[in-house]
Structure formats: C-alpha cells, structure tokens
C-alpha cells in the first residue's frame, strides 16, 4: 500500500464522512454513506462502520488501496 497522503483539517477533529469528501476519497455524502456501510473504509487498519466517527490528528483512513492521514494545524 502506498504512503498515506496528509490532509490538513482546521479543527481538532473531523467526522469520517466529512473527511472522506475533504480528502477526495469519495465524491459525495451519499457515496460516503454507502462505502462505510459496505465495510470498505478502514481507520487505522480497522474496519469502520460509523460515518460520524471522530477522527483526530494522525488517524489514517483507507478506502481500497488509497489512504489519507488526518493532520491538524493545532500546536
């Protein structure tokens, strides 16, 4: 698997569904709901079925072979 792409967020946390769109891993909220419900999304290597899961700095989200890492600008 390729190295995850760093995706900066403005706040301390972000919901999984929002992050999938921000990181361009999916195209819409409806698509996010579908890929999560189908078990196609991993967070830190574990399958995640909750669209509202709060992600924090350093969390790695994967959809298939594509991964993105949450990066905050917080000190």
**Cβ–Cβ under 8 Å, residues 39 and 54:** no
In tens, the pLDDT along 58-72 reads: 999 999 999 999 999
Q: What is the Cα–Cα distance from 28 to 46, expressed in whole angstroms? A: 22
pLDDT confidence of residue 75: 55
Hey, what domains does the chain have and what are their CATH numbers?
A: 5-72 (3.10.290.10)
Global pTM value? 0.92
Residues forming a β-bridge with 13: 56
Hey, is 49 helix, strand or coil?
Answer: coil
Q: 54 is written with which tokens?
A: 């709060």
């Amino acid at each position: 698997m390729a190295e995850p792409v760093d995706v900066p967020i403005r706040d301390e946390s972000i919901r999984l569904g929002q992050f999938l769109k921000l990181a361009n891993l999916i195209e819409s909220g409806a698509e996010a709901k579908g890929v999560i419900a189908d078990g196609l999304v991993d967070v830190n290597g574990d399958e995640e079925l909750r669209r509202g899961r709060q992600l924090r700095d350093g969390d790695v989200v994967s959809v298939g072979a594509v991964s993105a890492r949450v990066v905050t600008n917080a000190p």
